[in-house]
Chains A and B, each alone.
Chain A
Amino acid sequence: MATITVKRPKLTFLEKLFIPTLIKGLRLTLSHGVRSLRGKAEGKEQLAAGHLGVTMQYPEQKWDSHLPEYYRGAPALVTDELGRERCVSCQLCEFICPPKAIKIIPQEIPADSEWAKVEKKPQAFDIDMIRCIYCGMCEEVCPEQAIYLRKDYAITGTSREEMVHDKDKLYEIGGQRIGLVNKWNDLK
């Protein structure tokens, strides 16, 4: 088999120190602070409730309506227009997930099913939300457009088991997505 050795990128001395990156992050946070103080931040009406105009009264007030399109919340599975599970259980997300939060057990779709030609779906799909770092790698790697990071950020539970999102929960959060590429159509 062809073996390809991938080289890690060489870091410069400054990069190895991590300090410049740290400063970059601090600068971003500060700039948001300054924006809020000048009353230019998103959700300024709600922020105004605080004395300085920089504090939101969570949980009475929430960021939800101000979250940008690219916000990365909890990862979730989606179904297509016809209610088909988009995930075919290829396990690429399981492979790429940096903290190993995803666990999938694949299954064959029975021959009498309407979607028998897709052949494969997940039998179990668990994401451990204690492990998940909301990096979005799973969404990026998915070849079937089946997993998306939604805007849910307040993931709570009173036990470790509760913090594991199973397949039902993931579809509940994810819901239906329309307008995606549908490669399992009749032409296929």
Chain B
Amino acid sequence: MSDTEATKQLPKDLAASEGKVNVQIDGVWHQFPKGTRMIEACKQVKVEVPHYCYHPKLSSPGNCRMCLVQMGMPPRPAPGQDPVFEDDGYQPIGWMPRPVIACANTVAENMGIRTTGPLVEEVRNGVMEFLLINHPLDCPICDQAGECRLQEFSVEHGRGTSRFVENKVKKPKNVDIGPRIRLDDERCIMCSRCIRFMDEVADDPVLGFTDRGTHTTLTIHPDRRLDHNYSLNTADICPVGALTSNDFRFKQRVWFLKETKTIDTNCGTGINVTVGARSNKILRVQPRENNDVNSSWIPDSHRLSFHTIIDEARLTDAMVMENGKHQTATVANAIQRAATELAKFKGEQIAIIASGRMTNEELFMVSRLRDALGATHCDIVPRTGESDNMLISADRNPNTEGAKKVLGISKPGSSLKTIKSGLASDKIKALVILQEDLTADAGFTQNDIQHASLIVSSHILANPTAEVSHILLPGASSFEKRGSMINVTGRLQRLNQAVQPNGNATDDWELLRDLTNAVGGGNGLYLIEDVFKSMASEVAEFNDLSLGKIGDQGIQLYETGIEIPLLTRERKRAENGEIVG
């Protein structure tokens, strides 16, 4: 155009100045950053494009064809002709007669996308019909039923009846391909998500396709098993029931599960999870997307660890030692007893050993208890292992950062030695052990502990420390409580209660509050929100925060400089344009 003033006002120039492009989706104009995939653009404006093979964290092979949409661009002007602009400043869109896949194409200036209309409807119906040709009638016995994309899109785009009169192709069913995963090839729709996950994320490419056409079969390398510690993620991303978890297999239909968003506490990463439970029983744990913590993944070892909390050895009652034998007591009586006994000792004779597995709220209550008792020795048990160079952090305590900030412990574990020698030399006479078994990771023996004339402890399971405790309080596991933790990168995250504690087991912060009350009088804390409030006024990092404000994705409080290797790699791949991220 000759008039430069007018061209400046065109939407394409306005968008270009911000590095964006104008795209019309279902008749409405929007702006998106250059390079956005069409499917992501649609998602951002809440238009759903059905898809199977596309996953933002994996490469896009574009092989399922479910995401077909109609695309249009302005017609190319003839030589010497100026582009035509309509009154609204956009060029007219020339619709292409054939559809394109939305998952692998990126948006362009003045592009039009139609996700409805006769062409799109027809291609979706066609793709669905092909996908269902050989699909078995397994829904009643298929664990995916209820969250199966094939079921969902069949309802919207399927025919309801089959026109296929030939015999269906038979493929291997119920194949044992790994210790935790079962494969049903008839249900596989060849999206290759699992193959790409094992290759690109787990870096253990053991899955692949054999044969061609309708006989294409997902197989495992003949000499290998799918035994990678991240293998169960393939069952999560499989859009159908071809890969299912042995652990969750036939336990419960998914629509009965009550889902709770919380975090995993097996290591310092604090992987975001969704816990599925029915009738107060945890049945499965799945990763929840958080691009600052765990992307969309979780290691199998963390995922399946919930079984320990439904363990037989679970403590369900308070115990008080009478003549060398444990007798059950009410929690209130046990706490009262603990307070009376503790009062017999001087501050320097009492040692508190708390845990890096405690929430910030619990740690805060520990600091109150420490003040009330005047205890001079207070520490947590450090727990380190090796990072797996993916998600598992070397710090196996989920809240070491919290212990540093809330309890003011600068070097976790540094006073354990003093406590041990103090016990041996009778300088320390009373032990308060919270959520720890000292014989496991702290390097104490049962004998060392027994030197103390009073042992008050809390735990969720029976163990050697619990065995010799004079007063034993039954605590709650991480999926049974609310609270907050700070992960290794300095991110504050929230735990939510998925199930109620067993029997008379009680949320730990309440045990601690009652004990502190019994020792040093009332403290006016009735709700966990109150605890956070008082904590926020004392710990600088928590100023202006509340449990509610933390949200499901957490808040980055500060940077510790620690990186999560898997995230670093994914960010790099996203920068290179290999994945959307």
Contact = CB atoms under 8 A, between A and B. Distances in A.
Interface in B243-298: 249-253, 255-256
B159 interface: no
B1 to A, nearest CB: 44
Contact of B141 (A2, A120, A187): A120
Nearest to A103: B279
Given A90-B145, A91-B256, A187-B167, A108 B137 contact: no
Contact of A143 (B48, B139, B250, B252): B139
A95 B136 contact: no
B142 to A, nearest CB: 9
Interface string B397-433: 0000000000000000000000000000000000000
Contact of A108 (B167, B249, B252, B253): B249
B140 A106 contact: no
A106 B250 contact: yes
Interface of A: 1-2, 88-92, 94-95, 106-108, 116-120, 143-144, 183, 187-188
6 contacts: A91-B253, A94-B256, A95-B256, A108-B249, A143-B140, A187-B168
B144 to A, nearest CB: 12
B221 interface: no
Given A1-B152, A2-B152, A117-B173, A183 B137 contact: yes
Contacts, number: 46
Contacts of B145: 90
Nearest to B143: A120
A108 B249 CA distance: 8
A134 B553 CA distance: 47
Contacts of B249: 108
Contacts of A90: 139-141, 145, 253
B147 interface: yes
Nearest to A107: B250
Contacts of B136: 188
> How would you classify the secondary structure of chain B's contact residues: helix, strand, loop or mixed?
loop
Contact of B251 (A88, A94, A106, A144): A106
A187 B256 CA distance: 32
Given A90-B140, A90-B141, A108 B152 contact: no
Contacts of A94: 256
B141 A119 contact: yes
A118 B141 CA distance: 8
Nearest to A119: B141
A95 B253 contact: yes
A104 to B, nearest CB: 9
Contacts of A88: 140-141
Given A90-B140, A117-B173, 8 more contacts: A1-B147, A90-B139, A90-B145, A95-B256, A106-B251, A107-B250, A108-B249, A143-B140
A122 B538 CA distance: 56
A1 B274 CA distance: 15
A148 B167 CA distance: 31
A106 B152 CA distance: 24
Interface string B328-339: 000000000000
Interface centre among B141, B249, B255 (most CB of A within 10 A): B141
Given A2-B48, A2-B152, A117-B173, A144 B140 contact: yes
A108 B250 CA distance: 7
B174 interface: yes
Nearest to B246: A108
A33 to B, nearest CB: 44
Nearest to B137: A183
A67 B139 CA distance: 35
A120 B152 contact: no
A38 B516 CA distance: 83
Contacts of A95: 253, 255-256
A188 B48 CA distance: 34
Nearest to A146: B140
